[in-house]
Amino acid sequence: MPTSLPTSLPTSLPTFLPTSLPTSLPTTSLPPTSLPTSLPTPRPTSVPTSAPTSLPTTLPTISFAPTKPSLTLTSALVLDGTSKSSWNAAYEETFKQSLVDVSALIESTDDFVGNLTVSDGARRSRTRRRRLQDASVSVSFVVRVDVDTGEDGAVDIDSYVTAFEAELVSATTVDEQTGVSPLDIALQATAEEKGYEVKITADQEASHSMIATETGGVESSRPPTAAPSPAPSTAQPTTPRPTPKPTPAPSVTPGNPTAVPVPAPTLAPTIESCEKVRERTGPPPDVDSARFSSTGASILVDLDAASDQAGMLAGEYFPCAELLDFADVDTAECFWVSATQIYAEVNKALDFVPGENVTLRANTTMLACDDDRCECRVRNTASSVPADPPDPLPDVEPVFQVPDSIAVCEEGGLAVEASQSIGSGGREWKQLVWSVNATGPPESRAAAKVNGTWENATEALESMQHRAANDTSSEFTAEATELQALANGGFDTLVLSLALENFLGSTKTESVEMKLSTKSIPSVLIVGGANQVAKVGNALTVEASGLASGCDGRSKAQRAVDYAWNLYRLDGVDDPEEDWTQLAEGASADFVNVAANKRYFQLDPFSLDSGTTYVARAEATDTKYDLSNTADVYLAVGVGSVVAVIEGGDRVVSVQDELQLDASSSFDEDINPDCGDGAGDWRANFGRRRLAHNDAHGTRTAGDCGTGDDAGLSFSWICEELEVRDDGEKQVNGSCATDTEPFPTGVWALKSDKQRLIFLGTWLGTGNYRFTVTAASADARNSTTSVDIELINEEPSKVVVSNFARKVNAAEKQTILGLVTPPDGVTIDDLTTTWTLAEGDLEAGQTLREVAKTRVELQGADLASGQRYHDLVLSLGAMVPGGTYKFLLTATLTSETGDTTEGYASVSVSASALPSAGVVAASPRKGLELETPFELVASYWVGDELPLKYGYETDDSVLRTPTANPKLADVRLSVPVATSGRGGGRGGRLLRRARRRRLSDEEEAARGNVTLRVVVVDQVGAKGQGETSVVVMENVLEAEALANLTNELLDNAFAAADLSAVCSAVSATSSAAVAAVGDPSRRRLQGADDEPSLLGGIVGSLAKAATELMNADPDAIEQTTVAVGGPIADPRALDDNSAFEALDMVNGLSASAGDVGLGSGESSTADAAAGAVSSMLGSALFDTPEDAASTGNGTRRRLTGSAYPYCQCCEAACASVGGHWECGEAGPEFKLDPFSLD
């Protein structure tokens, strides 16, 4: 029967019934006899027909020759190697022709009906770097084929469907010998014949599943009559698929014609031609601009239209030559930031400079597919633009890491490191020139000329000058004999200068002076150089590195020094030391050094004044000889920015409501936002669910603390009308102010204050408006921000979302707070709140649902206090570094009456770019396990948020937490051991958002067995990564030799007060020791009976380091927690006290992590702590009493009577006895929460 209601859209198969929407005019041509009428019958029939009658003819219909009936067949296949966004006409043509080649039923591509239906296949698993494997698509298709009838004149549909299904299964079945299917062969041959760059294959398993569920068929037509028909046929037309419901009779009442003539149905949906589609969507993308980034190490290539990203995923590296062409393009790597922007690292493209052309290669990209006519897209033609230079050019800044004074007797001489100099653009310096000179008192030089030492001194100086003129490395060295000759020849100061020029033409020269001492003074220097910058609102960390003199032959382990720090305020940078003002240390004084390890100088945020220069002086004292040396660092405290903020985001508001625009969260980076009551702490309250969270702070003076006007900020507002164009773009269309009602005074400001604007929407009327606020400090620093408001007549739910005042670290978890408030007096039937991604492309092409840690859609009528909290939490690494995003929270409210209104609010956020472009080198390339000292140096790294810090790690251990020093020396490594089951190990974890270049085939082939990584961190916590590898050869050590080497490494680390060195030594030596006692089949050490005590000593050393050397720093806590996993990898090898000490250490580290947090991005602390506890469950501490009795090791006594009151409940319950827990009588299970015991 005909349907009762037309379908809202045409089905995928054309029907022979009337379409749901009539064509503009009835057709006048005679349709086939099986079709409904196009005009009403001339007179009513005596009895209504059961279906629309055919058009009455004045003459019988003549059939000139019988034809075969046709059958409509449907099915679907899954193809690997492309995605829906990349599917185009070339893919479609290749697919159709290939099916014709492998099918006996499909005779030509003309048999296909309508367009193919293409959708993305199931997303596959990601690698550790979140790289997706090749994409896939499912392709649904319809064909109409001629078929034969049986003796009874009927078509055996089922047999044809079965045959069609069988030939599709055969065509997609992979041959076991060749590894390809017949359809794969046809697809490749067709693509080659037509010259298409189409590389797709059939997915056998997925295709067979689709064929089984999607293959079907219906008869398309009846055989024509062989003789004239005397009257219109009354047979009902057939449809390819049955309709769900019968349609009512065509006549209004029996005996009457239809009320309105029914237009003739179209035989197939009207399809817009591809030429029309391309006119509507525009041409394929061209390159619009190319510009060097602020660092000079990369370029950003912008396209003039959203592209298909060449079928690639956002954030994933690929060779630039696949899409772009420029000088040395083969050395560059790219990734898509968004559909309109490509990021290219060009630091190795040495011939590529500003002004050189950047070309988007032809036939590489298409328009992004935003509708169902993807097959109409065409590929781009080549387009080029010149690359613009950075604006401004990156500053060059030579940075020296050198002591202020040196003992000329030191055997190693002098090494001046300048590899952390900034502004290279990620390339080798175009010019790097060292120069050397020496000065001294005239009387000393005169005396040297008399006593005969002058000639040796000048000869040594000339040698150094000659070497400097020819040295292009970032390190300058002087031999001890040269320094001694200068000191003996009347010189007391060595002057070293470095001139640098980058490839962009920026230059700078800096000099440094070093005092030459003939005494055996300690050596001490400031890590990161003697000139550093600081911000008022950031915690300050300065690191010193010192050792007592080795001139007397002492070992490194005997050269520990005591540290003391002083802080001075300078009125001017060039002030002489006698004019410095020394500040007092103490809780009630000028500053407090909060570092636990006194090798560091650490201040809490807001301890320094903005725009002021300080000097922090580290004094290192050799207690054996009572000799001291100092090193100074000049701290230039910058002036912070004023950051304007309007809470709530862009949103829609009812014109009848009171509009509140709140800028009270605006802040001054130089003003402490916390006034002690927490109300003004923007770190805690920023973006909270209440719009006005700042309270008055009693009698405090504005500007002492807080945000908004509490921080001493003043505010001015502007209102502008917006016109929304057809493409969604907004443009300013004038001011809201009038001559009679200037904005925002008068009626606008009746309820407003300087930081909040409150007024009724009716003062403006419906429309789109932009409100802009300027927040300014008393010294005229200011910033501006704006929010777009749409005022409508309806009453939508009020939606507000939190803001981001700064760029965020893409590697971190991000949280956007959302609050939805329905209008008053509305009884809610349903409230659906939904987060969507309005702009931007997420990492690896993921959807918002895939990266969200919270639900993106909430439904129902239940609210908390009349509101709904709907927050969006994004997982680690969800955003592409350098990308810009817009997130939209929409609230769709359905009232009890069925009325629906929609409210929304949006927030934009930008992710910072990562440190990049640098390299890391290791020397030597091969060494012996534990004995060979390796050295690592990172060079040419750049970043947007300076200064950078450099950390080092392997798959299983953290060698050093990030510091300002790009060099790490004296690294001892062990042969890698399988880490499965090793508690606390990193297990080869890579940083989630770490970017590193691909290794060439030659580099990959030359890889060693130990991979070393540098982790480069900027000031917002964004991390870049580079790697190298070395060969570590197995070393067979006697137990005593291993113990001696372990003690030496640990003693040296403690002498240097270096927690990282302790942890690195623990990881390397415990790996060797555990391999000896834990796996007899791999025993590499002889005389292993003493190893349990050696492991116990390693645990004790690490516990001591955690107590004495570990600052309250997330990175230090992470490194120490990871290191614990080394010596406890085989917990049965630990003695009782060591096992208790290890467990207690993990408990303390976990508590410390809870106090200071886990830091930015991905952290191993939690995993390492959990792994360590899991490993310790295998120790004798957790043996059952039966185990203890069988081993005779007294475990039961340790569990109940030791200083560590652990209690195990198996058959008996725990009970408190005399202030401690003991196993009591059998009873119900007793459990304690974590950390319930001391």
Q: What are phi and psi of 358, to 5 degrees?
A: -115, 125
Query: Would the pLDDT of 1199 be above 80?
Result: no
pLDDT at residue 747 tops 70: no
Least confident of 514-528, 958-972, 1072-1086: 1072-1086
Q: Which of 294, 283, 303 is nearest to 385 (CA)?
A: 303
pLDDT value at position 1065? 94
**What is the rounded CA–CA span in Å between residue 1040 and residue 1043?**
5
Distances from the Cα of 1008 to the Cα of 95, 973, 977, 1001, 1027, angstroms: 46, 12, 14, 14, 12
pLDDT band at 58 (very low <50, low <70, confident <90, very high): very low
* Euclidean distance between CA atoms 347 and 916, whole angstroms: 9
pLDDT digits (tens, 9 = 90+) for 765-779: 999 999 999 999 999
Burial (0-12, 13-18, 19+ Cβ within 10 Å), 651: buried
Structure tokens at 383: 């387009």
The answer to whether 345 and 299 have CB atoms below 8 angstroms apart is: no
1178 secondary structure, DSSP code: T
pLDDT of residue 751: 61
Q: How remote is the C-alpha of 207 from its chain's centroid?
A: 34
Structure tokens at 1014: 């540098």
Question: What is the pLDDT averaged over residues 603-622?
Answer: 95
Range of 195-209, 683-697, 745-759, 1097-1111 with top mean pLDDT: 1097-1111
Q: Regarding predicted confidence, which is higher, 1087 or 577? A: 577
Please tell me the number of Cα atoms within 13 Å of 174 on its side-chain side. 12
- Domain spans of the chain, in order of start: 70-219, 276-388, 395-518, 524-639, 640-677+690-793, 796-910, 919-1181, 1192-1238
308 beta partners: none
Task: Please give the residue that has the higher pLDDT: either 720 or 1082.
Answer: 720
Q: Is the pLDDT of residue 1221 over 50?
A: no
Quick one: pLDDT at residue 1131? 87
Domain covering 524-639 assigned CATH 3.30.70.2740 in the classification: no
User: What was the pLDDT predicted at 956?
Assistant: 84
Mean local confidence (pLDDT), 1201-1207: 36
Structure-model confidence comparison of residues 836 and 1000, the more confident one: 836
Q: Is CATH 3.30.200.20 what the domain over 640-677+690-793 is classified as, yes or no?
A: no
Rounded mean pLDDT, 2-26: 41
Report the pLDDT averaged over residues 88-96: 90
Give how far Cα 399 sits from Cα of 41, 402, 496, 1071, Å: 96, 10, 12, 38
Reported as a single tens digit per residue, the pLDDT across 893-932 is 998 888 889 999 999 999 999 999 999 999 999 999 999 9
Nearest to 536 by CA among 294, 881, 810, 777: 777
State the chain's maximal CA–CA distance in angstroms. 142
Query: In whole angstroms, how large is the CA radius of gyration of the chain?
Result: 39
Task: Provide the 8-state DSSP code for 507.
Answer: E
Region 40-61 average pLDDT: 43
CB burial class (10 A; 0-12, 13-18, 19+) of residue 508? Answer: middle
Secondary structure class of 36 (helix, strand, coil): coil
Structure confidence at residue 748 as a pLDDT band (50, 70, 90): low
Mean pLDDT over 632-641 rounds to 95
Helix, strand, or coil (residue 1046): helix
- 3-state DSSP assignment of residue 70: strand
Count of other CB atoms within 10 angstroms of residue 6: 16
Give the CA distances from residue 873 to residues 452, 685, 688, 835, in Å, rounded to whole numbers and listed in that order: 76, 17, 14, 11
Tell me how crowded residue 305 is: count the other CB atoms within 10 A of its CB. 18
- The more confidently predicted of residues 133 and 353 is 353
Instruction: Determine the 3-state secondary structure of 344 from DSSP.
Output: strand
Q: Of the candidates 955, 943, 958, which has an alpha carbon nearest to the alpha carbon of residue 1024?
A: 943
Q: d(Cα 1165, Cα 545) in Å, to the nearest integer?
A: 26
Model pLDDT, residue 22 = 42
For position 979, what pLDDT does the model report?
40
Model confidence pLDDT, tens digit, residues 249-301: 444 444 444 444 444 444 555 678 888 888 888 999 999 999 999 999 999 99
Where b means 16+ CB within 10 Å and e means fewer, 471-492 reads beebebebebebbbbbbbbbbb
For the CA atoms of 1181, 1185, 1191, 1193, what is the dihedral angle to 10 degrees?
50
Contact present, 1237 and 1219 (Cβ < 8 Å):
no
Q: What is the mean pLDDT of residues 715-734?
A: 90
Read off the pLDDT of each residue in 588-596 and give the average, rounded to a whole number. 90
pLDDT tier at 95, thresholds 50, 70, 90: very high
Supply 763's token pair. 């003062």
For residues 394 and 295, the answer to whether their CB atoms sit within 8 Å is: yes
- Strands 475-478 and 431-439, sheet pairing: unpaired
- 79 forms bridges with which residues in the sheet? 137, 202
Could you say which DSSP state residue 290 is in?
Answer: E
Return the higher-pLDDT residue of 363 and 692.
Answer: 363
Alpha carbon distance 793, 789 (integer Å): 13
Residue 766's nearest CA partner among 605, 613, 636, 655 is: 655
**Average pLDDT over every residue of 343-352:** 96
Under the banding of pLDDT at 50, 70 and 90, the label for residue 219 is confident
Same fold, 395-518 and 640-677+690-793: yes
Q: How far apart are CA 1206 and CA 1190, in angstroms?
A: 20
Q: At what angle do helices 1091-1108 and 1039-1055 cross, to 10 degrees?
A: 10
Paired sense of beta strands 926-928 and 1023-1033, if any: parallel
- Mean pLDDT value of segment 740-764: 73
- Percent of the chain residues topping a pLDDT of 90: 54
- How close are the terminal C-alpha atoms of the chain, in Å? 80
130 band by pLDDT with thresholds 50, 70 and 90: very low
**pLDDT category of residue 1007 using cuts at 50, 70 and 90:** low
Residue 920 and residue 917: Cα distance in Å, rounded?
Answer: 10
Q: Which residues contact 823 (CB under 8 A, 6 or more apart)?
A: 654, 795, 796, 797, 798, 893, 901
Token duo for residue 301:
């290539």
Quote the tokens at residue 379. Answer: 């590929």
Tally Cβ neighbours within 10 Å of residue 768. 18
Q: Which of 159-173, 719-733, 1170-1184 has the lowest mean pLDDT?
A: 1170-1184
CA angle 1067, 1070, 1071 (to 5 degrees): 80
Nearest partner of 1016 among 1087, 929, 944, judged by Cα: 944
What CATH number does the domain located at 395-518 have?
A: 2.60.40
* Confidence bin at 660 (pLDDT 50/70/90): confident
Distances (CA, A) of 864 to 416, 821, 868: 64, 10, 6
How does pLDDT run across 1047-1082, given as a tens digit for each residue? 999 999 999 999 999 999 999 998 777 766 644 443
What's the chain's average pLDDT?
Answer: 81
**Which helix or strand (DSSP H or E) is residue 1141 part of?**
helix 1136-1156
Please give the backbone phi and psi of residue 279, each rounded to the nearest 5 degrees, phi first.
-65, -35
- pLDDT level of residue 121 (50, 70, 90 thresholds): low
CA-CA distance, 1060 to 776, in Å (whole number)? 44
Query: In this structure, what DSSP letter does residue 1180 have?
Result: G
Inter-residue contact 649 to 655 (CB < 8 Å) = no
CA 1043 – CA 1033 distance, rounded (Å)? 19
Q: Say whether pLDDT at 741 is over 70.
A: no
Q: Where are the beta strands (DSSP E) in 844-912?
A: 857-858, 868-869, 872-874, 884-895, 900-910
Task: Please list, in sequence order, all residues whose beta carbon lies within 8 angstroms of the beta carbon of residue 1107, skipping any fewer than 6 positions away.
Answer: none
- pLDDT at residue number 702: 60
- CATH code, 796-910: 2.60.40.10
| Pairwise CA distance, residues 1076 & 1072, whole Å | 6
The CATH architecture one would assign to domain 276-388 is: Sandwich (2.60)
pLDDT at 969 over 60: yes
Nearest by Cα to 1094 from 1061, 1058, 1133, 1124: 1133
Q: How far is CA 321 from the centre of its chain?
A: 25
* Average pLDDT estimate for 1213-1217: 44
Pull the structure tokens for residue 807: 């760029």
Average pLDDT over residues 120-133: 40
Amino acid (1-letter code) at residue 1158: L
Q: How confident is the model at residue 1035 (pLDDT cuts 50, 70, 90)?
A: confident
β-partners of residue 886 are: 839, 908
Q: Is the CB of residue 73 less than 8 Å from the CB of residue 142?
A: yes
pLDDT higher than 90, residue 339: yes
Q: What is the pLDDT of residue 40?
A: 44
